[in-house]
């Protein structure tokens, strides 16, 4: 028999507290609830709150997919790596002028 705690902890390992669940993890949550596991037990196993489990189920019922919806607003220009590099440069030389950073 599959151990829900083991599966949940492996799927959400390394996830930050405010980071979005992957589509695969949401699908596993939906599958666990469909297999008659309680929402509270699933929430404990996947280390999310019960409301996140409820939202995953509601979204699946309304859209029949576990994928994230497209985000609204302007897309970010810089990648996560570029942001880290800029922060690294600023920490290395904090006296650089903002004009230099702006490329003026």
**Does 104 score more than 60 pLDDT?**
no
- Domain residue ranges in the chain: 4-63
27-58 confidence digits (pLDDT tens): 999 999 999 999 999 999 888 899 999 999 99
76 is written with which tokens?
């970010």
Predicted confidence at residue 30, as pLDDT, reads 92
Distance from C-alpha of 88 to C-alpha of 82, rounded to nearest angstrom:
10
Q: What is the DSSP letter of 101?
A: H
Residue percentage of the chain with pLDDT more than 90: 30
Predicted confidence at residue 18, as pLDDT, reads 77
Distance from C-alpha of 82 to C-alpha of 2, rounded to nearest angstrom:
41
Highest mean pLDDT among 49-53, 71-75, 94-98: 49-53
Predicted confidence at residue 66, as pLDDT, reads 81
Q: pLDDT band at residue 99, thresholds of 50, 70 and 90? A: low
Give the CA distances from residue 33 to residues 17, 67, 91, in Å, rounded to whole numbers and listed in that order: 22, 17, 47
H helices present in 12-93, as ranges:
23-34, 39-46, 50-63, 80-92
Distance from C-alpha of 100 to C-alpha of 52, rounded to nearest angstrom:
44
């Amino acid at each position: 028999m599959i151990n829900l705690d083991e599966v949940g902890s492996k799927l959400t390992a390394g996830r930050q507290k405010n980071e979005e669940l992957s589509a695969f993890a949401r699908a596993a949550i939906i599958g666990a609830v469909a297999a008659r596991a309680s929402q509270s037990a699933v929430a404990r196993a996947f280390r999310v709150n019960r409301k996140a489990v409820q939202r995953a189920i509601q979204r699946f019922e309304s859209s029949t997919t576990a994928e994230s919806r497209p985000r609204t607003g302007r897309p970010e220009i810089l990648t996560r790596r570029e942001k880290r590099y800029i922060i690294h440069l600023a920490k290395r030389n904090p006296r650089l002028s903002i004009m230099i950073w702006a490329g003026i």
